[in-house]
């Protein structure tokens, strides 16, 4: 009788994709819990949008949507809320000889962003306490490289 050799099976749950997906989900849950616990007055999506605008003054809605990984409709709703709170301002500008609405953060928005960042820093610091600064930096660099390689294959319908 001939013995059948079993080939090792690599399960999806043993892949980097699974690890990253689970980590991202846990971070999203943690972020939502921190926002809820601290009653910050913004959702995590609104905070991320405000932070992204602060780093990209004069960004248009389409480019912002790509950065925050939201479709334009959801991005528009978030922007309406932030503008209604006086945290951002929208203005008309030209891009490629076309009129586009761009946005910038207001002084009130900058103050709110700094206030929220300070409050959240304390809560998120615990998640990286067991890592050195060098390890965190190396992880961030690796994640950025990985994300950039994935972006080549992802079709963004924005």
What distance in Å separates the CA atoms of residue 105 and residue 58, rounded to the nearest whole number? 9
Chain-centre distance of CA 18, in angstroms? 19
CATH number at 41-118: 1.10.10.10
Beta carbons within 8 Å of 13's beta carbon, 6+ residues apart: none
pLDDT for 96-148, tens place per residue? 888 988 999 999 999 999 999 998 888 888 888 899 999 999 999 999 999 88
User: Of 54, 55, 46, which Cα lies nearest the Cα of 84?
Assistant: 46
**pLDDT (0 to 100) of residue 68:** 95
Q: Write out pLDDT tens, residues 42-80.
A: 999 999 999 999 999 999 999 999 999 999 899 999 999
Where are the domains positioned within the chain?
41-118
Beta bridge partners of 112: none
Q: Are 85 and 110 within 8 A, CB to CB? A: no
- Which residue's structure tokens are 């998120």? 124
């Amino acid at each position: 009788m001939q013995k059948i050799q079993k080939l090792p099976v690599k399960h999806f749950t043993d892949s980097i994709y699974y690890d990253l997906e689970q980590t991202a989900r846990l971070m999203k849950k943690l972020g939502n819990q921190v926002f809820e616990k601290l009653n910050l007055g913004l959702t995590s999506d609104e905070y991320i949008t405000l932070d992204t605008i602060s780093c990209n003054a004069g960004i248009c809605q389409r480019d912002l949507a790509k950065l925050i990984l939201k479709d334009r409709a959801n991005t528009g709703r978030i922007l309406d809320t932030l503008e209604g709170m006086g945290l951002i301002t929208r203005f008309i500008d030209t891009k490629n000889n076309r009129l586009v609405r761009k946005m910038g953060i207001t002084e009130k928005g900058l103050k709110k962003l700094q206030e929220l960042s300070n409050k959240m820093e304390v809560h998120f610091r615990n998640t990286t306490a067991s890592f050195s600064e060098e390890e965190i930096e190396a992880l961030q660099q690796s994640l950025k490289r990985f994300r950039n390689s994935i972006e080549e294959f992802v079709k963004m319908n924005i």
